[in-house]
Structure 1
Amino acid sequence: MTESNTITCEKFLPHHPAAVWKALTDPDLHARWWAAGDIRPVVGHRFTLDMGNFGSQPCEVTEVHDQRILAYRFAETTLNTTITWTLNPEGEGTRLVLTHTDFDLDSPMGRQAYDGMGRGWPHVLDRLEGVLGETPGFDEEP
């Protein structure tokens, strides 16, 4: 049996894809639910996420499909993984799928990151839902 080096989490958010997209791509909102950094939905855009005790992590946007897919290389100099956010309209909300891939499970750091992020991502998605719920206008259709 081959072990997967991919973490997948999904969450239904009772908010329109445009609102979820904004929370994923607006630096001020992004800092409220995950990490501060100059994220922008532009392929090739390089930015750094402030991961607190884990330091500043360099990233590069690799794929953008407006209000549907945002992907970027994460921690390029250490983990060198890929985070992909996929937004699927569902009823009056959005099914958000997070896929975090390319962990090197043969390295101690890669294994530790995989295990830690596997436990941590559901909590990050809960914080995202909280920010969406407390931000005025996110419950209205754009």
Structure 2
Amino acid sequence: MTDQPSYVYVSYVESTPEAVWDALTDADLTAVYWGHGNVSDWAPGSRWAHVRTDGSGIADVVGTVVTADRPTLLVTTWAPPGDEENRPSRVTFAVRPHGDIVRLTVTHEDLRDAADRAAAARGWPAVLSNLKSLIETGTPLPQDPWLVPPD
């Protein structure tokens, strides 16, 4: 445990753990609701990249798969490309079934500062709302929720 800022977001999705896992790890699905493909083989120790869908091949976030226990637990490090060794943050996706729903808890730890925590607090709710919409309705939200101006 560190004294660095962290952010936790919990969402409930009418789905199965396997479908939520796939939505987090399938590059084609993440491209639909996130605007980036999460690319990896998802084996512990493997590299993963958050690659833009504009055809540029640019990864805006990269890291290492720490834990991949399909369909309940995925832990990755997160860093800007080229900065992976310089104290990356860590994201944990905990997927817990309860009847016909899934509780998805995302914990983003070891953020560098309050500004990174504020960015996580703006980003995760938008991304996970879009994931929930895609899983439950078959389509993401009609506008990218992360583009909604802050209050």
TM-score (norm 1): 0.79
- Determine the structure 2 residue equivalent to 1:23: 23
5+ residue gaps, structure 1: 106-110, 137-142
Distance (Å, rounded) in 1 between the aligned partners of 2:96 and 2:51: 28
- Determine the structure 2 residue equivalent to 1:39: 40
- Which residue, out of 94, 98, 102, partners 1:94? 102
Match of 1:24, SS? helix
- Determine the structure 1 residue equivalent to 2:89: 81
- Which residue, out of 68, 72, 75, partners 2:76? 72
Query: What letter corresponds to residue 87 of structure 1 in structure 2?
Result: V
Q: Shift of residue 119 of structure 1?
A: 2.0
Percent of counterpart pairs with the same letter? 25
- For 1:113-132, list aligned pairs within 5 A: 113-132=116-135
Match of 1:88, SS? strand
Query: What letter corresponds to residue 32 of structure 1 in structure 2?
Result: V
- Determine the structure 2 residue equivalent to 1:61: 65
- CA RMSD in angstroms comes to 2.5
Is the CA contact 1:51–1:57 (under 8 Å) kept in the aligned structure 2? no
5+ residue gaps, structure 2: 140-151
Q: Shift of residue 24 of structure 1?
A: 0.9
CA deviation string 1:71-104 (max 9, x = no partner): 1001161661001100010111100000000012
* Dislocated runs of 4+, deviation >4 Å: none
TM-score (norm 2): 0.75
Match of 1:125, SS? helix
Match of 2:39, SS? coil
Q: How many residues align?
A: 129
Q: Are the structure 2 counterparts of residues 115 and 79 from structure 1 closer, same or farther at C-alpha, using a change threshold of 3 Å?
A: farther
